[in-house]
Amino acid sequence: MKSLADITAALAGYDPQSVHVDDVVNIACSLVTSLRHDPTQFETRSIGDATGRVLALDVISPISVPPNDNSAMDGYAFVFGDWDGHTPLRLHVVGRVLAGDAAQLPQPLQAGQCVHIMTGAPMPVGADTVVPSELTTRDEAGVLVKGGGLRAGDNRRLLGEDLRAGCVALAAGQVLHSAAVGLLASLGMATVTVVRRPRVAYFSTGSEILSLGETPRQGAVYDSNRWVMLSLLRSWGAEPIDMGVVPDDPQQLEAAFQRAAAQADLVISSGGVSVGEADHTKAMMRQLGDVVFWRVAMRPGRPMAVGRVAGCPVFGLPGNPVAVMVTFLAFVRPALQTLMGTAVSRLPQSQVRSVAAIRKRPGRTEYQRGFCRIDANGVACVEVLPNQGSGVLSGMVQANCLVVLDHAQDAVAAGDLVTVWWLDRFI
């Protein structure tokens, strides 16, 4: 296993006082790569309990879907032959077939014959086309097809059109959403093998931090970071381990890190990674493991620690609530995706017009809370919220997006296109 020094030494232009956000993502993902695809991390779940889980193995279709040629609508199945599709056509009705019927006609359907057929019913042998009922007139003599641009093969679903028996229906690493769960059900599969949810231990640090229920005291603040983190971890498919609040005490910090590393796949803390006198987290991480400490070229969220404690990947995030959320979305989220064996994805993003000018200097990536709306002309536009302080959590409540200003980007003029990360579904 490479040390963090070896990994960072391979980075072009690496500067621990100004680390590019892309380098942080790459290192964060590399830390957890060795933990992926371990069969002991797999588990079987019912498909009713599989939404949001990650497939551990390819799902091979045991059947073809559909299992036979069938009708795509209610109507009449017939042999198209050399009919032009426009001239009215007289057909003789020789049978009726419903969805679920297995019986076929004793003889293949002949030209000039048809079968009254329902949606999903198997196509009679010889029939290749279904005319919808609304394009026909039925009388005692049979069915008159009005015509109107019908083509051979219309309104027929072919055997295996969706899936063929033996093919990969769903690939390992895919997140099971509702359509994928429905597909599993269509294959007759009641259970599925998924990646175990990663166990992520989290604790807040700081003697000034109050847990909910504690009596307020001067200079102290209630712990919002812990509840933000627990919610984010659940949203992104992890099993959080709540380790509470750890005061600025070296012995208690050491015990917390050791307990967390012993029971988790990943450890996250917030606070104590800066240069303050009471920031013991930094010293303890260095004492217990292989950890690098950075000033990331970003706003919010500059101070950060990344590495291993007792062999367990660890992220030391900043102490301010907004910085915690942004660094989670930017760095911890892709690490979790890597840990679960799924592809690292960007948050949904768009290019929209900025309502006003935005001050920005090259040399850092900025994530500004914004609100995107449709203007009077029907054009999407975004406005950054007025107070961008990293402790202003209410701004994350008001925001529906983050305006992402890239490392090399300069100031933005009113009307310029900017990149936004959509937040509504992810925080």
Residue 46 reports pLDDT greater than 60: yes
Quickly name the fold that domain 70-157 has: Molybdopterin biosynthesis moeA protein; domain 3 (2.170.190)
pLDDT for res 268: 97
**Cβ-contact 232, 427 below 8 angstroms:** yes
Cα–Cα distance, 370 to 354 (Å, whole number):
10
Closest CA relative to residue 138, chosen from 90, 96, 105: 90
Task: pLDDT band for 241, please (50, 70, 90 cuts).
Answer: very high
**Cβ-contact 246, 270 below 8 angstroms:** no
Query: Which tens digits make up the pLDDT trace of 104-142?
Result: 777 899 999 999 999 999 999 999 999 999 999 999 889
pLDDT for res 358: 96
Q: Indicate the pTM of the whole model.
A: 0.85
Least confident of 24-38, 118-132, 187-201, 370-384: 24-38
Locate 159 and state its tokens: 């055997």
Structural domain boundaries in the chain: 4-40+197-339, 42-65+162-195, 70-157, 349-422
94: how many CB neighbours lie within 10 A of its CB? 16
Q: Which residue has the tokens 């109507």?
A: 75
pLDDT for res 191: 97
265: how many CB neighbours lie within 10 A of its CB? 22
Q: What is the CATH number of domain 349-422?
A: 2.40.340.10
**Cβ-contact 143, 136 below 8 angstroms:** yes
Closest CA relative to residue 24, chosen from 289, 230, 237, 317: 317
pLDDT for res 52: 92
Residue 278 reports pLDDT greater than 60: no
Type of residue found at 306: V
**CATH number among 3.40.980.10, 3.60.10.10, 3.30.70.3270, 3.90.1110.10, domain 4-40+197-339:** 3.40.980.10
Least confident of 101-105, 245-249, 404-408: 101-105
Cα–Cα distance, 175 to 33 (Å, whole number):
18
Residue 27 reports pLDDT greater than 70: yes
Residue 273 reports pLDDT greater than 90: no
pLDDT for res 366: 97
Cα–Cα distance, 303 to 319 (Å, whole number):
9
Residue 231 reports pLDDT greater than 60: yes
Closest CA relative to residue 335, chosen from 327, 344, 347: 344
Cis omega before residue 66 (within 30°)? yes
Task: Determine phi and psi for 270, rounding to 5 degrees.
Answer: -130, 140
Q: Average pLDDT for residues 299-311, to the nearest whole number?
A: 91
Q: Average pLDDT for residues 408-422, to the nearest whole number?
A: 95
- Considering the chain, what is the average pLDDT of its residues? 91
**Cβ-contact 70, 123 below 8 angstroms:** yes
Cα–Cα distance, 96 to 92 (Å, whole number):
12
CA angle 323, 326, 331 (to 5 degrees): 115
pLDDT for res 346: 85
Residue 120 burial by Cβ neighbours in a 10 Å radius (0-12, 13-18, 19+): middle
Cis omega before residue 386 (within 30°)? no
Type of residue found at 391: G
Query: Which tens digits make up the pLDDT trace of 58-80?
Result: 999 999 999 999 999 999 999 99
pLDDT for res 4: 82
DSSP-assigned letters across all residues of 386-414: S---TT-THHHHH-SEEEEE-TT---B-T
Residue 427 reports pLDDT greater than 60: no
Task: pLDDT band for 160, please (50, 70, 90 cuts).
Answer: very high
Locate 224 and state its tokens: 């919002």
Q: Average pLDDT for residues 378-404, to the nearest whole number?
A: 91
Q: Buried (b) or exposed (e) across 395-410, using 16+ Cβ within 10 A?
A: bbeebebbbbbeeebe
Q: Which residue has the tokens 């200097």?
A: 361
DSSP-assigned letters across all residues of 354-392: ESS-B---TTSEEEEEEEEEE-TTS-EEEEE-S---TT-
Q: Average pLDDT for residues 143-155, to the nearest whole number?
A: 91
Q: Under CATH, domain 42-65+162-195 is a member of which superfamily?
A: Molybdopterin biosynthesis moea protein, domain 2 (3.90.105.10)
Q: Average pLDDT for residues 315-328, to the nearest whole number?
A: 94
Share of the chain above pLDDT 70, in %: 96
**pLDDT greater at residue 279 or residue 307:** 307
Type of residue found at 76: Y
